[in-house]
C-alpha cells in the first residue's frame, strides 16, 4: 500500500478533472469557513438576542435537508459539473447579500440561501468524485475529496478572523463572494462532464421518475443502512464531539486550552487517516472497514464519557478521532457501490439528507439527555448506538454489487 502523499499524487496525475474538483472544493471551503469566527459577532451588530444568534447558526441546516435529494437527481440527469457551477453562483449571491444586509432578517435569508448552495455543492461534489473514479479506487477518491474541504475549513477561520480584525465584519463576506465567483467561473471553463470522463453511457439511458427511483433506492438494504450510518455519524459529531466534549472536559476541571487541544487532536487524527480510510476500503471493501472502525468509535466515546481524568479523556478523544477519520467517509463510498452508476447522485443526495438530519437531531437530543441524566450518560448512549449499528451492519448490510477486486493501481 502506498504512502498517502504518493497515493494522492498518483490519483491526481491520472485524473486531472478530479484535481480540479479538489482544488475548487478546497478554495470554496476556505471561503465558507472565513465567516465562522465572526458570524455570531456580526449577527449581534443587528441588536438581536443570543437566542436569535443561535437560531441563525442552527437554521442553515434546514434548507440543506430539502436541497440534497433534488441536487442528487439533477447531478444524475444534468451533470454534476453544471450543478457545481450553479452552487458556486448561489453561494456568491448569498455572500453578497450577507455583506450588504441592513438588518437581521435579510442576514437570516442570506444564510438560508447559503445553506441551499452548500448542500448542492457537497452532494454534486460527492457525485462528481464517484463518477470520475473506478470501483477499485472510488473510496480513495471520496476520502480525498472530503479531505480537501476539511483542509479548506481548517485554513479559513484564521484568514477570516484576520480580515475582520482589520477591515470589519462585512469584509470576510466579500472575500467569500469573490472566491466563490472565481471558483464558479473556473469550473464552467475547465470542469468536464464527469459522466464522460470514464466513458460511461449509463446516464444516456431513460431514467424513471423521482418517486419510482426513490422506491427502488429505499428497497436496497445496504443503502438504507449506510444512510442510517451517515445520520449517526453526523449525530455523533454535532452531539458528542461539538456539544458534549467541551462540557465533559469542563466537568473534569480541564482548562479551555486543554479542551481546545482535545478537539484539535480529533481533527488532526481525522485528516491524517482519511487517505488510509479510502485505501483500506478499496483493498478490503467498505463494509470490512466500517464495522471495526465504528466499534472503535464506540470505545473512544465510552472513554470520553467515563474518563476520571484528563489523560484518559485525551486518549478517548484520540481514539474517536482515529476511528471517525476512518469510518466516517467510507459509508459514502459504500453508497456508490450498492447502486448503479446512473443513480449515484440521487443515492448520495439521500445519504446527505440523512446526515443533515443527524446534525439537527444530535445537539437537541444530547441536550435533553444531558438535562435528564447528565452529559456522560448521553455520550454513553451515543457509544451504544454506534456499536449497535456496527454489529447490525456486519450481519445485515449486503456486500456491494459493483465492487471489483482492488488493482495495484492508484
Query: What pTM was computed for the model?
Result: 0.74
In terms of domains, do 267 and 139 share one? no
168, 197, 226 - which closes a domain: 197
- Residues 133 and 240 occupy one common structural domain: no
DSSP string, 116-181: HHHHHHHHHHHHHHHHTS-TTTHHHHHHHHHHHHHHHHHHHHHHHHHHHHHH-TTHHHHHHHHHHH
pLDDT for 180-208, tens place per residue?
999 888 888 888 777 665 544 444 455 55
Task: Please tell me the total count of domains within the chain.
Answer: 2
**Cα separation, 369 vs 378, whole angstroms:** 5
Between these two residues, 375 and 345, which has the higher pLDDT value?
A: 375
- Looking at the domain assignment, is residue 48 inside a domain? yes
Whether residues 269 and 173 share a domain: the answer is no
- Are 284 and 271 in contact, with CB atoms under 8 Å apart? no
Shared domain check, 301 and 172:
no
Same-domain status, 269 and 143:
no
Does one domain contain both 228 and 366?
A: yes
- What number is the average pLDDT over the span 279-300? 88
Of 153, 174, 197, the residue at which a domain comes to its end is 197
In the block, cell 450510518 appears at: 229
Q: What angle do CA 272, 295, 328 make, to 5 degrees?
A: 40
Rounded CA Rg of the chain = 21
The pLDDT of 160-164, averaged and rounded, is 84
153 within domain boundaries: yes
Both 213 and 162 in one domain: the answer is no
pLDDT value of residue 406 = 40
Instruction: Give me the domain span that covers residue 166.
Output: 1-197
- In a shared domain, residues 234 and 192: no
Note whether residue 287 is domain-resident: yes
Percent of the chain with pLDDT over 70: 86
Does residue 203 sit within a domain? no
Residue 283 belongs to a domain: yes
pLDDT of residue 5: 52
pLDDT at 296: 93
* Residues 168 and 26 placed together within one structural domain of the fold: yes
Share of the chain above pLDDT 90, in %: 19
Please give the Cα distance from 119 to 99 (Å, whole number): 21
pLDDT recorded at residue 1: 46
pLDDT reading at 160 higher than 60:
yes
Same domain, 231 and 171: no
pLDDT tens, residue by residue, 16-64: 778 888 888 888 888 877 887 777 778 888 887 766 776 676 677 778 8
In this structure, is residue 92 part of a structural domain? yes
Average pLDDT, stretch 64-72? 80
Evaluate if residue 302 carries a pLDDT over 90. yes
Q: Does residue 410 sit within a domain?
A: no
pLDDT at 10: 52
Residues 391-407 have a mean pLDDT of 67
Question: How confident is the model at residue 409, as a pLDDT?
Answer: 38
3-state secondary structure of 250: helix
Report the pLDDT value the prediction gives residue 387, as an integer from 0 to 100.
93
**CATH code assigned at 367:** 1.20.1250.20
Task: Summarize the confidence of residues 169-188 as an average pLDDT.
Answer: 90
Residues 174 and 267 in one domain: no
Last residue of a domain, one of 177, 197, 217: 197
Q: In this model, does residue 99 exceed pLDDT 90?
A: yes
pLDDT tier at 404 (50, 70, 90 boundaries)? very low
Do 193 and 233 lie in one domain? The reply is no
Among candidate residues 145, 140, 388, 132, the one with its CA nearest the CA of residue 286 = 140
47: left (phi over 0), alpha (psi -120 to 50) or beta: left
Amino acid at each position: 500500500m502506498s504512502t498517502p502523499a504518493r497515493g494522492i499524487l498518483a490519483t491526481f496525475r491520472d485524473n486531472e478533472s478530479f484535481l480540479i474538483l479538489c482544488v475548487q472544493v478546497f478554495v470554496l471551503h476556505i471561503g465558507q469557513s472565513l465567516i465562522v469566527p465572526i458570524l455570531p459577532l456580526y449577527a449581534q451588530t443587528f441588536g438581536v438576542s443570543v437566542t436569535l444568534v443561535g437560531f441563525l447558526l442552527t437554521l442553515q441546516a434546514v434548507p440543506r435537508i430539502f436541497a440534497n435529494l433534488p441536487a442528487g437527481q439533477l447531478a444524475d440527469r444534468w451533470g454534476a459539473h453544471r450543478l457545481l457551477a450553479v452552487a458556486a453562483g448561489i453561494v456568491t449571491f448569498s455572500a453578497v447579500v450577507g455583506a450588504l444586509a441592513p438588518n437581521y432578517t435579510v442576514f437570516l435569508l442570506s444564510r438560508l440561501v447559503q445553506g441551499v448552495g452548500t448542500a448542492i455543492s457537497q452532494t454534486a461534489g460527492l457525485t462528481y468524485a464517484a463518477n470520475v473514479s473506478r470501483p477499485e479506487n472510488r473510496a480513495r477518491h471520496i476520502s480525498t475529496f472530503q479531505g480537501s474541504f476539511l483542509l479548506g475549513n481548517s485554513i479559513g477561520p484564521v484568514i477570516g478572523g484576520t480580515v475582520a480584525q482589520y477591515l470589519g465584519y462585512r469584509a470576510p463576506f466579500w472575500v467569500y463572494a469573490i472566491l466563490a465567483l472565481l471558483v464558479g467561473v473556473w469550473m464552467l471553463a475547465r470542469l468536464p462532464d464527469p459522466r464522460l470522463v470514464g466513458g460511461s453511457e449509463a446516464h444516456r439511458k431513460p431514467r424513471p421518475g423521482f418517486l419510482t427511483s426513490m422506491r427502488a433506492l429505499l428497497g436496497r438494504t445496504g443503502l438504507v443502512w449506510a444512510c442510517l450510518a451517515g445520520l449517526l455519524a453526523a449525530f455523533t459529531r454535532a452531539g458528542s464531539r461539538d456539544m458534549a466534549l467541551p462540557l465533559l472536559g469542563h466537568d473534569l476541571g480541564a482548562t479551555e486550552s486543554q479542551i481546545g487541544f482535545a478537539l484539535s487532536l480529533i481533527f488532526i487524527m481525522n485528516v491524517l487517516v482519511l487517505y488510509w480510510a479510502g485505501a483500506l476500503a478499496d483493498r478490503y471493501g467498505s463494509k470490512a472497514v466500517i464495522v471495526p472502525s465504528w466499534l472503535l468509535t464506540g470505545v473512544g466515546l465510552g472513554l470520553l464519557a467515563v474518563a476520571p481524568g484528563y489523560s484518559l479523556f485525551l486518549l478517548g478523544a484520540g481514539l474517536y478521532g482515529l476511528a471517525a477519520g476512518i469510518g466516517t467517509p467510507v459509508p459514502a463510498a459504500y453508497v456508490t457501490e450498492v447502486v448503479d452508476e446512473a443513480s449515484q447522485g440521487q443515492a448520495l443526495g439521500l445519504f446527505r439528507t440523512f446526515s443533515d438530519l443527524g446534525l439537527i437531531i444530535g445537539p437537541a437530543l444530547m441536550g435533553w439527555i444531558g438535562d435528564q441524566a447528565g452529559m456522560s450518560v448521553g455520550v454513553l448512549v451515543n457509544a451504544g448506538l454506534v456499536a449497535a449499528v456496527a454489529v447490525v451492519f456486519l450481519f445485515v448490510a449486503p456486500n456491494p454489487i459493483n465492487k471489483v477486486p482492488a488493482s495495484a493501481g492508484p
